[in-house]
Amino acid sequence: MKHNTVCIIDDDPIFVYGTKVLLNYNRSFCSNIIVYENGKEALDDLRFMVKTNEALPEVIFLDLNMPVMNGWEFLDQLKKMDLGNRVGVYVVSASIDHEDQEKSKEYDMVIDFIGKPLTPNKLKQLLLVAEKKAH
C-alpha cells in the first residue's frame, strides 16, 4: 500500500537524510515527504491542514527527544485533535528504555515503536504490515 505523504519529525539531520534516502529509494512506500525539526512546527502545520481540509500525511515518523516540543508533547497535542485513524505514527527513537516503548502504546495513533536507525529491512516490514491491513 503506497502512502501519498509521509512526515518525518526529527531534529537530527543525519537521521532525516538517511530516512529520506530510504523512502526515496523505496518509491513503493510514499510519494511525498514532509520534514519538521520539532513537534511544534509539525503540529502547527497539521492544524492548518485540518483547518483548510488539506490531505494529512498518512504516516509520521516521530522522534522523542527534540527541542521546542518533544515527541511526547506532540503526541499529547495530536491526541486532542481527534483525527481518528487518519494518521498513523511510528515512534522512531534511539531510546532503549522499555518504559518509552510501553508509554508509546498508550497512544491510539501510534502503530509501533522502532529503534533507530530506520533500516531497509525495517521499512520493508512496515510495508508488509501496511499491505496486510489494506486487505
What order of strands is seen across the sheet that includes strand 59-62?
30-36, 3-9, 59-62, 88-93, 110-115
- Regarding pTM above 0.85, the answer is yes
Between these two residues, 41 and 96, which has the higher pLDDT value?
Answer: 41
| Assigned superfamily of 3-134 | Response regulator (3.40.50.2300)
Average pLDDT over residues 46-70: 93
Express as a percent the part of the chain with pLDDT over 70.
91
All 3 cell numbers of residue 70?
518533544
Tracing cell 516521530 back to the chain, one arrives at 62
Pseudo-torsion of CA 107, 109, 111, 116, nearest 10°?
Answer: -70
The predicted structure's pLDDT at residue 134: 47
